């Protein structure tokens, strides 16, 4: 069976602040931003690839999501999540690191291989978005 990730949902306090971070700092393209601003979409998204998006879901609709999923546990609306990893080529990796540095976003790494979908890589770092969601960037040589 071959599957791909269609979307990942991150909880955010302020979707527009998160959208600004993911478009300006991370360098992704917005999806449904204007519809969200006009009140025609419940949240904006950013495009990860032709086949995947990252939804920036406001904390204010947690109760709706709990009901929609049938969950009753307080944390069942999608938390906790450990991290989301973005794989990219070396040029994008270097450009992202430069944008994060310019925006004074802390990056953390170690010199150990980290395993991912395409095997191990020593080229990776972690960083957080404005809402504290942990993100990883990596490239495979």
Q: Which domains does the chain have, with CATH numbers?
A: 7-138 (3.10.180.10)
- SS3 breakdown of the chain: % helix, strand, coil, rounded to 5? 30, 30, 40
| Three-class DSSP labels, the chain | CCCCCCEEEEEECCHHHHHHHHHHHCCCEEECHHHHHCCCCCCCEEEEECCEEEEEEEHHHHHHHHHHHCCCCCCCCCCCCCCEEEECCHHHHHHHHHHHHHCCCCCECCCCCEEECCEEECCEEEEECCCCCEEEEECCC
Whether residue 18 is predicted with pLDDT greater than 70 in this model: the reply is yes
84-to-9, 34, 38 alpha-carbon distances in Å: 10, 25, 29
pLDDT recorded at residue 59: 85
Asked if 128 and 106 count as a contact pair (C-beta separation under 8 A), the reply is yes
State pLDDT tens for residues 44-98: 999 999 999 999 999 888 777 767 677 666 555 656 677 899 999 999 999 999 9
Whether residue 16 is predicted with pLDDT greater than 70 in this model: the reply is yes
pLDDT recorded at residue 76: 52
pLDDT recorded at residue 62: 75
Model-level pTM? 0.84
């Amino acid at each position: 069976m071959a599957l791909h990730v269609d979307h990942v949902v991150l909880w955010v306090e302020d979707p527009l602040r998160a959208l600004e971070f993911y478009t300006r700092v991370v360098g992704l393209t917005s999806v449904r931003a204007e519809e969200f601003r006009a009140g025609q979409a419940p949240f904006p998204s950013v495009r990860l690839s032709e086949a995947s998006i990252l939804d920036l879901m406001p904390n204010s609709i947690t109760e709706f999501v709990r009901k929609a999923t049938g969950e009753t546990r307080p944390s069942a609306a999608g938390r906790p999540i450990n991290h989301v990893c973005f794989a990219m080529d070396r040029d994008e990796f270097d450009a992202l690191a430069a944008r994060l540095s310019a925006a004074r976003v802390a990056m953390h790494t170690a010199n150990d291989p980290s395993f991912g979908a395409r095997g191990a890589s020593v080229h990776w770092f972690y960083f957080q978005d404005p809402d504290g969601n942990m993100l990883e960037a990596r490239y495979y040589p």
